[in-house]
């Protein structure tokens, strides 16, 4: 199985998720991790993982552009991870809408509500690693 993890992270929380997910998926196959702003053309994979934060009451702009521009991905699968502030909704629905025209098929999705320590890259909730492990087992 070949995985491509595409993430965007301002403060480091999504980066932590991507790096940890990479270690969880490596026993299952090849993993390539990319920063969204550098991902003009995605490499071929069986499963694409998109991880992005909510910013200014929407999906982060670089990730939004990347996801809305994907085409010709028929037969490939994707999973979503969204981080967002406590008390605010996740943006998984909007992320799915952006990918609707790509031809990708959704496998799974999850979100993490970040809180105190977000700007220092320490905003993930206690137990996030276990939640991510359970998520990795589904993909």
What is residue 25's predicted lDDT score, i.e. its pLDDT? Answer: 97
What is residue 38's predicted lDDT score, i.e. its pLDDT? Answer: 73
What is the pTM for the complete model shown?
0.90
Q: Report residue 106 as tokens.
A: 């959704």
b or e along 63-94 (b: 16 or more beta carbons within 10 Å of the residue's beta carbon)? bbebbeebeebeebbbbbbbbbeeeeebbbeb
**CATH number of the CATH domain containing 11:** 3.40.50.360
Query: Is the model more confident about 38 or about 66?
Result: 66
- Smallest CA-to-CA distance from 4 within 60, 51, 58, 45 is with 45
Q: Report residue 55 as tokens.
A: 């910013």
Q: How many domains does the chain have?
A: 1
Query: Is the model more confident about 77 or about 116?
Result: 77
The residues near 104 (Cβ < 8 Å, ≥ 6 apart) are 48, 70, 73, 76, 77, 78
55: domain range? 2-138
> Using CA atoms in the order 99, 102, 104, 109, what is the torsion angle rounded to 10 degrees?
-10
The residues near 21 (Cβ < 8 Å, ≥ 6 apart) are 5, 49, 51, 81, 132, 135, 136
Give the pLDDT band (50/70/90) at residue 85. Answer: confident
Computed over every residue of the chain, the mean pLDDT equals: 88
In three-state secondary structure terms, 105 is strand
Element (H, E) at 62: helix 61-69
- Tokens 């206690």, located at residue: 126
């Amino acid at each position: 199985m070949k995985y491509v993890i595409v993430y965007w992270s301002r403060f480091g929380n999504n980066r932590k998720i991507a790096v940890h997910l990479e270690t969880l998926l490596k026993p299952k196959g090849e993993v390539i991790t990319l920063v969204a702003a550098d991902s003009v053309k995605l490499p071929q994979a069986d499963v694409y993982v998109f991880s992005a934060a909510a910013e200014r009451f929407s999906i982060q702009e670089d990730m939004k552009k990347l996801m809305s521009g994907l085409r010709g991905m028929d037969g490939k699968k994707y999973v979503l991870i969204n981080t967002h502030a406590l008390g605010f909704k996740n943006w998984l629905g909007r992320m799915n809408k952006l990918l609707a025209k790509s031809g990708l098929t959704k496998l799974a999705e999850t979100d993490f509500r970040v809180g105190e320590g977000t700007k220092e890259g320490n905003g993930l909730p206690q137990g996030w690693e276990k939640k991510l492990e359970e998520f990795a087992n589904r993909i």
